[in-house]
């Protein structure tokens, strides 16, 4: 009787939960394990040239040469122990020389402003030519694209025109180039996300692209994106409203803070309203495969040694804070921010290398130790090691030696 009851009950529950099982697998496939950028750089379209990525790298290195030519001087500038900075200083310089910008978005929105249609058309054509030149000489960032104007009524027509023209040129050969990224800004409703999905569906059909080949990120910079009029978390619905087309949620520091009435001098990444918004974004994106990116700081003073040190110290602290909170990407405003971005990021992953590798090796080998890790913790240990390798903070050989695991096994453990 017990065996029959158990068998019948299992069958009934399987049927009862079949839909929920399917939705869980579809809506929450888990975090992505492929490489993701550690930052995004936004450059106004009228100021963008084919040389922009390498020029930013040169400018960042020049700032280092001028104000922090050694690990000790950079450590003094940002207020960190010299031995800590010494372990990443050369890696930071190498990164600035070889890949200063990982993710670049040419901006046709706030940083660009409203211009005559013929002016924006001409700037877009010039930007596309620059992207083509970078692709030819190998300097185009791994992730690249545009932020077009929002889908709110006053700017919708211009935003759609720029979006379609960009995609027609970029995907004209019937394929979506690697790394192409689109940013939908100032989203105020789930309907705008659905409208973006509809627009991409129509473009795919017109250009002969595969279904769902085009995806996009949502810039969260309005109160309406965090809380809808009915009191629900609108951003959670947005993640799922585009039928797996959403790739990321990007926090907009200054628009969001201003919308909540925060005075200009207090608008920052670490303000309580920013933390609340980003916490909601993290919960909405958790286990969906959608990434979360922090916003930016507007402190960009590198006029002299003292100012540069203060700017680097502030930004290093903010980046490190975001990393500790589980946000692995941010927005950089100027070449000087590249120094502190990679300094904080490389320190974070290098300083987690040895403990993470040891704990993960013990978990895999089931060796008793000082910490009894759960499977969920093991997933994050593996994820930290993968992220460190992907961004250049650590080497795959180091991870293999310390943890006894290759990158493929690490990717398996993240699930």
SS (H, E, C) 42-90: EEEHHHCCCCHHHHHHHHHHHHHHHHCCCHHHHHHHHCCCHHHHHCCHH
Token code pair at residue 208: 């002969």
Name the H helices within 189-247. Answer: 190-207, 223-226, 234-241
SS3 at position 228 = coil
- pLDDT in the model for residue 371: 62
CB contact at 8 A, 43 and 318 = no
Domain 39-350 class in CATH: alpha beta
DSSP string, 157-174: HHHHHHHHHHHHHHTTTS
What's the order of all strands across the beta sheet hosting 143-147? 291-293, 246-251, 216-220, 180-184, 143-147, 103-107, 39-44, 330-332
- Quote the Cα angle for 243-192-245, to 5°: 25
Closest Cα partner for 143 from 247, 243, 239, 288?
Answer: 247
Torsion of CA 240, 286, 415, 370, to 10 degrees: -170
Distance in angstroms (rounded) separating the CA atoms of residues 58 and 35: 25
pLDDT tens across the length of the chain (415 residues): 788 889 999 999 999 999 999 999 999 998 888 999 999 999 999 999 999 999 999 999 999 999 999 999 999 999 999 999 999 999 999 999 999 999 999 999 999 999 999 999 999 999 999 999 999 999 999 999 999 999 999 999 999 999 999 999 999 889 999 999 999 999 999 999 999 999 999 999 999 999 999 999 999 999 999 999 999 999 999 999 998 999 999 999 999 999 999 999 999 999 999 999 999 999 999 999 999 999 999 999 999 999 999 999 999 999 999 999 999 999 999 999 999 999 999 999 999 999 999 999 888 887 655 666 788 888 889 999 999 999 999 999 999 999 898 889 888 888 7
- pLDDT in the model for residue 172: 85
- pLDDT in the model for residue 2: 84
Distance in angstroms (rounded) separating the CA atoms of residues 298 and 283: 27
Closest Cα partner for 106 from 53, 156, 27, 67?
Answer: 53
Burial class from Cβ neighbours inside 10 Å (0-12, 13-18, 19+) for residue 367 reads exposed
Overall size of the chain counted in residues: 415
Q: How many CB atoms lie within 10 A of CB 295?
A: 28
The domain locations on the chain are 39-350
SS3 at position 151 = coil
How far is Cα of residue 327 from the mean position of the Cα atoms in its chain?
8
Closest Cα partner for 196 from 235, 164, 173?
Answer: 164
């Amino acid at each position: 009787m017990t065996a029959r009851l158990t068998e019948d009950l299992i069958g009934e529950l399987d049927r009862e939960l079949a839909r929920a099982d399917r939705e869980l697998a579809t809506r929450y496939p888990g975090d992505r394990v492929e490489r993701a950028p550690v930052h995004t750089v936004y450059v106004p379209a009228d100021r963008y040239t084919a040389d922009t990525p390498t020029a930013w790298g040169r400018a960042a290195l020049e700032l280092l040469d001028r104000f922090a030519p050694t690990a000790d001087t950079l450590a003094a500038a940002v207020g960190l122990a010299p031995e800590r900075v010494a372990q990443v200083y050369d890696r930071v310089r190498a990164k600035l020389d070889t890949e200063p910008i990982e993710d670049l978005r040419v901006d046709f929105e706030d940083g660009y402003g409203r211009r005559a249609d013929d002016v924006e058309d001409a700037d877009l054509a010039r930007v596309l030519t620059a992207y083509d030149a970078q692709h030819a000489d190998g300097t185009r960032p791994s992730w690249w694209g545009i932020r077009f104007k929002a889908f709110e009524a006053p700017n919708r027509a211009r935003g759609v025109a720029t979006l379609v023209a960009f995609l027609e040129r970029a995907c004209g050969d019937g394929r979506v180039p690697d790394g192409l990224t689109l940013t939908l800004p100032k989203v105020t409703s789930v309907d705008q996300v659905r409208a973006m999905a509809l627009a991409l569906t129509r473009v795919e059909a017109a250009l002969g692209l595969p279904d769902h080949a085009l995806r996009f990120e949502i810039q969260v910079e309005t109160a309406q994106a965090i809380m809808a009029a009915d009191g629900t978390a609108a951003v959670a619905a947005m993640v799922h409203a585009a039928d797996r087309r959403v790739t990321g949620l990007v926090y907009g520091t200054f628009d969001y803070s201003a919308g909540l009435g925060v005075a200009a001098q207090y608008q920052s990444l670490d303000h309580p309203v920013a933390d609340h918004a980003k916490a909601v974004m993290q919960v909405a994106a958790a286990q969906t495969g959608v990434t979360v990116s922090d916003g930016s700081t507007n402190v960009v003073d590198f006029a002299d040694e003292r100012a540069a040190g203060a700017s680097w110290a502030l930004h290093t602290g903010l980046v490190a804070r975001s990393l500790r909170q589980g946000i692995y990407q941010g927005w950089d405003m100027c070449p000087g921010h590249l120094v502190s971005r990679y300094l904080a990021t490389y320190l974070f992953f290098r300083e987690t290398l040895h403990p993470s590798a040891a704990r993960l090796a013990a978990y895999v080998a089931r060796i008793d130790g000082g910490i009894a890790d759960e499977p969920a913790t093991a997933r994050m240990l593996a994820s930290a090691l993968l992220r460190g390798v992907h961004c250049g903070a650590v080497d795959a050989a180091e991870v293999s030696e310390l943890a006894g695991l290759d990158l493929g096994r690490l990717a398996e453990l993240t699930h």
